Amino acid sequence: MARVVVVGGGFGGTAAAARLAKLGHAVVLLEQRDRLGGAVGFVEHEGYRWDSGPTSTALPAVVRDLFRKSGRPLDRELDLVPVQPMREHRWPDGTVLAMPSGSRSAQLEAVDAALGPGLGTVWVDWVHGHAETWDVLRRVYLERPWSPDTTDKAATALLRSRRTLHKAVTKAFGDERLRDLALLQVRLDGHDPRNVPAWQGLWDYVEQNFGTWAVPGGMGRLAEAMTKRLAERRVDVRLGTAATDLHTEGDRVTGVETAAGPVDADVVVCAVDLRTLPALAPSVERTMPAIPPVLCHLGLAGDVPELPHEVVLHGDPLLVVRTNGTAPPGGAAWTVLARGRIAEDVLLALARAGLDVREHVEVRVDRSPADQVRDLGGSPYGTLWQGRATIDRKLGRTPFANLYAVGAHVAAGSGLPYVGLSAATVAERIGPS
């Protein structure tokens, strides 16, 4: 039995801790905040409640596998329900597209109906073009740490390609609205598509084939379920305990330094921004964090528009409205994310985009990018893509033999599926006690 210390109690850290405890290790989890979950959680104010982070997830098998491999299966803890439509897209020219998830034929029909005959075929051909990419990278990158020494030629060619997502999308689509669809995720995550590798387009394939899913009552319930799971697995959770550095001897880590004193370890799993730990900072000094969007949680009362789970208002700024919050009777709880040229108040930008709810605001909670980074101790969106070299700079493998890294800063992306896969990979590498 190894003594494993997990640094960081976000989704990646709790997932790794639960898996390793089930494998028989003695696990200590250090979290600087007063709760687990990281970006996954709730913001509550005056009877309104909003998800503090993601409101849905793609690739639900990642979450299901986590619960199955760490104890009781997911369906005995939480419901996961499909989100339909996946999101509604609106453009300044009046075009509205309710995009289905989990169905190629449904997406073809929806795009044809909203954008024009023939464009549905163009879209699904783009998505299907990532099927082989998904198959190759799933086996040699997404489900194990990236290393040029343990990959194959097909994966190396994909990951080393100079082709950017911007170039691939520009070539594939003449219609600007289709380009907006294909670039939405990387833009929302704070990346410049000109610096993102073309293979990141596989996210459209994942959403189309596996669908998007949500937890009734909010994805914050996933953090609550993970907190319960760690208690069941007898993980030693230490809240309010920030890691300040690592103790090392040669090529091994011997413990973690905290304000309360050192915590000895046989194995350490870092689920935080590696740049915050002096022993690791030199190894990732060429990386930068992806800056979070502006967030505005709105508690609304009165006759407000009925919207689907997520509405994307294309333009500059790019606005995303998520409507799954919990409100008092007769109210609604929305979260607005803003990216781009935010030269005015979010509510005014929302009104200019056709959703004017200024007279209905009862409660408002603003969270700037700096607020989010300060609260979480790092960006929940992980590492900024700065070209193809970023994949090596993310430090999928650390310079210490018994130190492993999980989470958005080392995974292929910032979403729950990528983060969950990184935790599963590390648990497999460490193995049973």
**Alpha-carbon gap, residue 177 to 169, rounded angstroms:** 11
pLDDT in tens, 33-92: 999 999 999 999 999 999 999 999 999 999 999 999 999 999 999 999 999 999 999 999
Beta carbons of 300 and 333 less than 8 angstroms apart = yes
CATH number at 3-39+61-79+218-287+379-430? 3.50.50.60
What backbone torsions phi and psi does residue 264 show, to the nearest 5 degrees? Answer: -65, 150
User: Locate tokens 């005014």: which residue?
Assistant: 348
Q: Give the pLDDT of residue 155.
A: 84
Domain 294-374, classified CATH 3.30.70, yes or no: yes
Closest CA to 13 of 279, 410, 292: 410
If DSSP states are collapsed to H, E and C, what string results for 69-113?
A: HHCCCHHHCCCCEECCCCEEEECCCCCEEEECCCCHHHHHHHHHH
Q: What is the mean pLDDT of residues 187-204?
A: 96
Q: Give the pLDDT of residue 251.
A: 93
pTM given for the model: 0.95
Reported confidence tier of residue 146, pLDDT bands at 50, 70, 90: low
Q: Using a CB cutoff of 8 Å and minimum separation of 24, what contacts does 350-354 make?
A: 350/313, 350/319, 350/321, 353/90, 353/92, 353/313, 353/315, 353/319, 354/90, 354/313
So where are the chain's domains?
Answer: 3-39+61-79+218-287+379-430, 98-210, 294-374
* CATH architecture of the region 98-210: Orthogonal Bundle (1.10)
- Above pLDDT 70, what percent of the chain? 99
**Alpha-carbon gap, residue 278 to 259, rounded angstroms:** 15
